[in-house]
Amino acid sequence: MLPLIDIDHVHRVFPMADGGNYIALKNIDLKINQGEFISLIGHSGCGKSTLLNIIAGLDQPTEGGVILEGKEVRGPGPERMVVFQNYSLLPWLTVRQNIALAVNRVMRHLPKGERKGIVEHHIQLVGLQHAAHKYPRELSGGMKQRVAIARALAIRPKVLLLDEPFGALDALTRGNLQQKLAEIVQENNVTCIMVTHDVDEALLLSDRVVMLTTGPEAQIGQILEVPIPHPRHRLEVVNHPSYYALRGEIVYFLQQQKRSRQKVGIPQVATAAGGLEKINLQLGFIPLTDCAPLVVALEKGFFQEEGLFQVTLSREPSWKAIAKGVAEGRLDAAQMVAGMPLGMTIGAGRSQPIPMVSAMVLSRNGNAITLSNKFSQVDNVRDLKAAISKTPDTIHSFGMVHPASMHNLLLRYWLASGEIDPDQDVNLLVIPPSQMVHSLKAGNIDGYCVGEPWNSLAVNQNLGFVIATDLDIWNGHPEKVLGVREDWVAKYPQTHLALIKALLRACEYCDDPRNRQEILDLLIKPEYLGPASEYTRPGFIDPYYYGREREPVPLYRFHQFFVEQSTYPSETEALWILTQLARWGYTPFPKNWQEVITRVRRTDLYSEACRQLDLPNLQPNRSQIKLFDGMVFNPDDPVGYLQRFNICREFSVQEIPLVTAIEKK
């Protein structure tokens, strides 16, 4: 069923007196069904009223749009009525005349008697028969607001828009009107969108509470379903078993957002055109095919064109060395596995927390699970379970590259989907990518999950076969990201922005098929991957070969760098990673996950880099994630997602204190 209202990737940018821009709303994507009551909640300045005005047609989005019943909203219309906080009644008209003015204007095609009946019905609906002849100056605040609601409902709108309608009223009047509104909306099946600061009001009235992050660039941070049945009465709502948990969820979100406005050591987005603070950079990488953006940015001169004149790419032996190099300052920044900046920031694995920033994704996909030939009869994870069960006294070991890597998380997910406990049924070892093939050949491991070219090398040398690529597990997952220490970003904001811009250009270059042979010629230089191009071609240029004499298969997105919003540092994907780190016991699940993700995944810096490059600032839909097993990850219920896994370590939900850059220094 199509939604009644589709708010489609709405941005709202306001020009400022100094020539700059203020980004009020960013990528607001929301679908609202007929009869739903939606509350918008967030701190002052987060764009709630701006969004309401855009839906009403009183303001226009800078990008995106609002669709109502298949038609784009381009201006005000009688199918959308707004109730403002200040009542907006005409002082020279009585209650009856204020309501009649709207009815006569919109329903002038109806007979006079029918219009009069509609007016009287709605006066009665809000309980103002005794005051129908009075002027606004003779009414209390609550009565004025009831007139405004009656006037809005009288023209039978499809959508009722409420901008803090009870904010100026005393507690008793507010409570009575809230209850009256709930009854009217329920009886008439009216779709409502309400801006509010009142958590209890939101829970009393709403089917869903949409929580917005702090501005500028306010986004939807979380959507909370309110599972309390209608009709609702205040005492019944307060006594509902879910009430205090729901209330606590909203209050905690608002507290996180308040803290996020007080972040220390996070620079404002740099938009000035001055010189860079630092032009000589040491960037770490691992010799894998997906280091291509860094190689291309250097070899094609993108770093230099963005003012970074002395960039050195440091080939590192392991992801552990990458993390240590960035933490100690030997490396300015690095290609990192997707979960590493998050893990370092929260101190996963009981390590010392180091605040990190990850403002872009460098690559997606590119991994595979390779098994030893002794499992040659295995076709899927269920077969692997059966094969392992036949030798219960044998320890079967599998390699992965880093605990916070997608290699580890996807390998564990794949094994657990086949009822193989990755911590009890097998042994997982951290092995640098370049040592995987040697370890397999030596018999130290029975398989591994790694990036290319190390799977293709094992297949080429007839040491094993690919049982699954990450396209088979989660097509489009974030693989490598740009990782930088937070205090480094604070010290060199312009340099960091230039680095992002150069790498965005490189990612775009990498995803043009016409450039792939040229890029391969760069990658096989001795200082990068080395000369074995036949192992690097599969999945990058040529069809992918799984081994076991199967025909090679074209995998057009096996290495993905730019298309389909690949570079966007999705907060939903970061949240999924946090659930998996908690699932396997590396860290408690952060109660303050919104704060953690906002701190690390700097979408504001990403957006600024896109704007300066005149690239489309496209972002993926704020949607659910579904892996190959069909289990759906809802970003608004991460703990519920964790609780549905059959194979899972015991985990706790804790607030994780975040160290600031200044505290770290």
Res 403: pLDDT: 96
Burial (0-12, 13-18, 19+ Cβ within 10 Å), 392: exposed
- Residue pLDDT, tens place only, 482-536: 999 999 999 999 999 999 999 999 999 999 999 999 999 999 999 999 877 788 9
Q: How far apart are the C-alpha atoms of 251 and 335, rounded to whole Å?
A: 37
Q: How far apart are the C-alpha atoms of 218 and 28, rounded to whole Å?
A: 8
Q: How confident is the model at residue 628 (pLDDT cuts 50, 70, 90)?
A: very high
Q: What is the mean pLDDT of residues 558-583?
A: 95
Please spell the DSSP secondary structure of 450-488, one letter per residue: EETTHHHHHHHTTSEEEEEEHHHH-TT-EEEEEEEEHHH
Residues 6+ apart with CB under 8 A from 297: 303, 311, 502, 503, 505, 506
Report the SS3 class of residue 168: coil
Q: Are 586 and 523 in contact (CB under 8 A)?
A: no
Q: pTM of the full predicted structure?
A: 0.84
- Residue pLDDT, tens place only, 243-291: 888 998 899 888 888 776 554 334 444 444 458 999 999 999 999 999 9
Exposure letters 530-541 (e unless 16+ CB within 10 A, then b):
eeebebbbbbbe
Please choose, from the candidates 169, 162, 155, 76, the residue with its C-alpha nearest in 3D space to the C-alpha of residue 115: 155
Please choose, from the candidates 224, 162, 148, 225, the residue with its C-alpha nearest in 3D space to the C-alpha of residue 192: 162
Domains, the chain, ranges and CATH? 263-665 (3.40.190.10)
Looking at every residue in the chain, the average pLDDT score rounds to 90
Res 267: pLDDT: 44
